[in-house]
Structures are given as C-alpha cells and as structure tokens.
C-alpha cells in the first residue's frame, strides 16, 4: 500500500511541504528486534541473511530506539549492538491470539491419533528449533502408542534447515491451520519445545493456553517465559528429553497444580500489557539522541 497523498500537491509527499515552518525535532522510531541470533548463532543462517541483518541491526541501533521481547534479549542486544540495556524497552509477546481460534478436532482422526496419547512439536524446521533432538528422543522413548507429531514448514533458502524425516514413532503433519494446531494443543500429552536459541518462546505459552503440559528447552529466554510452568531439559541431550516424555506418560493428564502455574504465566503476558509498555515509551519525551545511546 503506497503512502497517503490526500491533501498534498500532486507529485509532492506531505512530509516535504512547508518544511521551513516545521520545528526541527528529531524523529522518533521504535524498532522491535526479537533476538540476537544473527550475532550469537551465525551457524543457523545463510551468509547473505547474516550480512544483511547484522548490518541492519547496527544501523538501527544508531538511528532508532531498539525494543525487544524479553529481558534476556535486551541484554543480548545491548551487548552485540553496544547499547545501554536501560535504553531498550521490553515489550513482551502473548498467546492471546489463540483466544478467537476454535479448535478443529477432525485433525485428530485425520492423523490417526488417540487423544492425550501423543507428544507435539510445533515450529519450523530451522536449526534453532532443533527438531532433530525431539525426533531422536521419540525414537529412544520407543512408544508407538505415544508418537511425536511434528507440525510446521521450513525455509531452507534462509536457514539451511534440518529435515524432519518420517521415522518410527514420528508423525510428520506438515503445515496446519491454526484451528488444527489448537486441537492438537488441546489433546496432546505434552508439548515439546527443544529450541537451542530463542528471544522469547511463544509456542510454550500457546500450549499453556490450551492447558497442555510443556516440556521445554533450558535455554535462558525459554526459562524466563515459562518459569515454573514447564519442566526442562538440555536441548542437546535427547536422552534427557526422552526421560521427561516418559515421566509425562507416567503422570498422565495435567494436574490442577500445573494448570494454576500455567494460568499465572499466561496472566503475566497479555497484548494489553504490551500495548501499555509501548504507549508508555512513546509518551516519554526524547531525552537523548541515538548517538548518545550507542557506545561509539
């Protein structure tokens, strides 16, 4: 969609009119960068993607205010972009977008699943999502009656991703609609989140939205997001993940105590709180130039 030129002289953008009468105040730009992966894990990306996004990150650090989605990402970005952490507002994510999604339970039959007798992975096949560890854990679990369902697509051009191959105890579902994913969250024994690096970790919150137990990577950002509402494992240790999956089978359905912990985490993250954080920043007068924020 092009710029709105209503009320402007033909061929002249509104921002160029009466320039001599406009006060010379610096423009304010807020840019949300979700994580520092291109700096911390270059092995996850193609060299073209790295070159572009590293350059863009440094440029934005000096021409705009950088915001991010977690305290972990704030510290990471401050270090790699030479910024004061206090200058980076945190505007968190939420799982409330699933509030208007009606689960389509027909996917359970289509995939030939038994309710509450399968584990679920939802994500891309990119390297940071680490689906290979989840697949190895499912193989080691050796429970054909509790398969791992892998949902998601890939973008190998950018990420050079890992391929999720069909194996014993693994169901490759591919891309699904939100309604189908909601149904899988609602009927899974647990959601498995083996990410190697995240800036926040929205999928575990999405699982909690449907009262699905979460088995999550011990990556720092994921722990920050999930707190005590998940059980954790080393994302490089398939044996440990397999043990967590086995424990979940023995525990059975989610308990009231677990549900309460999930409810508390979900209350922590809402789009209303995120909007308030953004408005709070925008309401503040600009006190320093971008050059003051960035350490030269």
The pLDDT of residue 166 is 55
- Per DSSP, helices labelled H in 111-237 are 131-141, 156-159, 178-187, 202-209, 220-226
Q: What is the pLDDT of residues 241-258, one digit of tens each?
A: 999 999 999 999 999 999
What pLDDT sits at residue 46?
93
The helix, strand and coil proportions of the chain, stated in percent and rounded to the nearest 5, come to: 50, 10, 40
Determine contact, residues 223/232, Cβ cutoff 8 Å: yes
Q: Is the pLDDT of residue 169 over 70?
A: yes
Ordered domains of the chain (ranges, CATH): 28-92+271-290 (no CATH), 96-268 (3.40.50.2000)
pLDDT over threshold 80, residue 100: yes
- Specify the pLDDT at position 140: 95
Q: What is the pLDDT of residue 284?
A: 80
Is the C-alpha dihedral spanning 234, 235, 236, 239 positive or negative? positive
User: pTM for the full model?
Assistant: 0.83
Of 52-61, 106-115, 116-125, 156-165, the poorest mean pLDDT is in 156-165
Residue 107 has pLDDT above 50, yes or no: yes
For the cut 60, the answer to whether the pLDDT of residue 3 exceeds it is no
Q: What is the mean pLDDT of residues 260-267?
A: 97
């Amino acid at each position: 969609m092009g710029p709105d030129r209503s009320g402007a002289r033909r061929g002249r953008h509104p921002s160029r009119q009466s320039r001599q009468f406009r006060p010379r105040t610096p423009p304010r730009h807020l840019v949300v960068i979700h994580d520092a992966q291109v700096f911390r894990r270059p092995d996850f990306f193609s060299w073209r993607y790295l070159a572009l996004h590293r350059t863009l990150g440094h440029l934005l650090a000096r021409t705009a205010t950088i915001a991010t989605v977690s305290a972990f990402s704030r510290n990471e970005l401050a270090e790699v972009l030479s910024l004061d952490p206090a200058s980076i507002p945190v505007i968190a994510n939420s799982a409330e977008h699933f509030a208007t999604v009606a689960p389509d339970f027909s996917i359970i039959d289509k995939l030939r699943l038994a309710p509450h007798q399968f584990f679920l992975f939802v994500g891309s096949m990119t390297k940071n999502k680490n689906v290979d560890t989840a697949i190895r854990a499912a193989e080691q679990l050796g429970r054909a009656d509790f398969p791992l369902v892998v949902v998601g697509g890939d973008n190998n051009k950018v990420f050079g991703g890992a391929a999720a191959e069909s194996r014993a105890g693994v169901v490759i579902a591919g891309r699904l609609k939100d309604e189908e994913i909601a149904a899988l969250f609602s009927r899974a024994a647990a959601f498995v989140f083996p990410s190697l690096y995240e800036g926040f970790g929205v999928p575990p919150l999405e699982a909690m939205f449907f009262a699905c137990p979460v088995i999550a990577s011990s990556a720092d950002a994921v722990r920050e997001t999930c707190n005590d509402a998940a059980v954790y494992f080393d994302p490089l240790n398939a044996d440990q993940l397999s043990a967590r999956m086995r424990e979940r089978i023995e525990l059975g359905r989610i308990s009231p105590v677990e549900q309460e912990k999930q409810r508390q985490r979900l209350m922590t993250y809402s789009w209303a709180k995120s909007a308030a954080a953004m408005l709070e920043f925008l309401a503040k007068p600009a006190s320093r130039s971008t050059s003051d924020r960035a350490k030269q």
